[in-house]
Amino acid sequence: MSRIALISGRGRLPVLLAEALEGDAPILAEMEGFESAARTGGEVVRFRLERLVPFLDQLQGMGVTRAVFAGGVHRPRLDPALLDPATMQLLPRIMAAMQQGDDGTLREVIALMGEWGIEVVAAQDIRPDLLAGQAGALGAHTPKAQDREDVTRGAAILRAMGVADVGQGCVVARGQCLGLEALPGTDAMLGHLADLRAAGHPLPEGGVFCKAPKPGQDRRIDMPALGPQSVETAARAGLRGIAFDTGGVLLLDRAQMIAEADARGLFLVATDFA
């Protein structure tokens, strides 16, 4: 029987996917140190990157032919003492991919899984309802003229960031870039901005948090996502709203996001960033 593996990190997305896949009896795969909230009583496989080949062999032996990646993980520190001989042979290939940044690493992961007969499918293929679907505002508030200019500026910044494989988000206020999302993530960027405002740092009022995939990014893995927490941190940072790519950002718990934005006076707008 063909089976699907949910390769899960932390956060809300794995839970939403597990709910959608419940009838398919998915295998939950967790990297050690990143226990998932998506446990439903089904089969759970734990793995380490140092033993990647045995992990792929195990999935193959369990009849897995498809896998979906979801949730956050940090790149762990590898322990050479735990490397098995087969994974050690792959190490130069993996290290070369990691030198190419996150996108290069993820493309290599997809290629490796394909060599074990496992097709990587996108989260949005399982839950297409998580995408905005069409451009336009969600909720009671809409962007003003200055906000729309900031969104245009933010799109240009994201394209430049994407070429450098830096991140998927930025904050723009009155044409000025107030923050760039890097490895620490969205909450760190918005939290730092909130701290600057609280300390009285002279920054332009308002601003828009812009979120989109990197140009050319393989959207089967590492799709950017927003949720109610994103709205809360954007409000704490004193922003006027959030703009996100119409077909390239997953909206987690959309109804709760909209309610939170309406209550805090923020706009949510889906925009074609390409």
Select from 106, 126, 146 the last residue of a domain.
126
- Higher-confidence residue of 98 and 63: namely 63
Task: Indicate the residue among 126, 160, 181 that finishes a domain.
Answer: 126
Which carries the bigger pLDDT value, residue 143 or residue 221?
Answer: 143
Same domain, yes or no, for 234 and 103?
no
Question: Are 173 and 69 in the same domain?
Answer: no
Strand order in the sheet with 3-8: 44-47, 27-31, 3-8, 64-70, 119-121
Q: Is the pLDDT of residue 86 over 90?
A: yes
**pLDDT for 125:** 95
Find tokens 């050479």 and name the residue: 80
Per-residue pLDDT tens for 33-85? Answer: 888 877 767 789 999 888 999 999 999 999 999 999 998 777 667 788 898 99
Asked if 183 and 200 sit in the same domain, the reply is yes
What is residue 222's predicted lDDT score, i.e. its pLDDT? 81
- Does 271 score more than 80 pLDDT? yes
pLDDT of res. 130: 96
Of all residues in the chain, the percent with pLDDT exceeding 70 is: 97
Query: What's the structural domain count of the chain?
Result: 2
Q: How far apart are CA 213 and CA 194, in angstroms?
A: 24
DSSP string, 229-266: HHHHHHHHTT-SEEEEETTT-EETTHHHHHHHHHHHT-
Is the domain of 241 the same as that of 166?
yes
Whether residue 92 is found in the same domain as residue 149: no
* Same domain as 205, residue 106: no
Q: CB-based contacts of 129: which residues, under 8 Å, 6+ apart?
A: none
Predicted pLDDT of residue 217: 82
Q: Is the model's pLDDT at 145 over the cut of 90? A: yes
Give, rounded to a whole angstrom, the gap between the first and last alpha carbons of the chain.
40
Give the pLDDT confidence score for residue 156 in this predicted structure.
Answer: 95
Which ranges of the chain does DSSP label H, i.e. alpha helix?
A: 13-20, 52-61, 85-98, 101-115, 123-126, 145-163, 186-198, 228-236, 254-264
The more confidently predicted of residues 167 and 245 is 245
**Shared domain check, 156 and 39:** no
CATH number at residue 227: 3.40.140.80
User: In terms of domains, do 156 and 224 share one?
Assistant: yes
Cβ neighbourhood burial of 146 (10 Å; 0-12, 13-18, 19+): middle
Nearest CA to 174 out of 154, 198, 194 is that of: 154
Cα four-point dihedral sign 41, 45, 48, 49: negative
Domain span at residue 72?
Answer: 3-126
Task: Note the pLDDT of residue 175.
Answer: 96
The one-letter amino acid code at 59 reads L
Answer whether 123's CB lies under 8 Å from 223's CB.
yes
pLDDT of residue 25: 82
Tell me the pLDDT of the chain averaged across its residues: 90
Same domain? 249 vs 159: yes
Q: Interior CA angle at 220 toward 251 and 14, to 5°?
A: 50
Domain boundary among 93, 126, 159: 126
- 77 & 209 share domain: no
Tens of pLDDT, residue by residue over 211-260, are 999 888 888 888 899 999 999 999 999 999 999 999 999 999 999 999 99
For residues 135 and 73, membership in a common domain is answered with: no
| Domain CATH code at residue 17 | 3.40.50.20
Same domain, residue pair 90 and 180? no
Write down the pLDDT at residue 1.
65
pLDDT at residue 101 greater than cutoff 90 = no
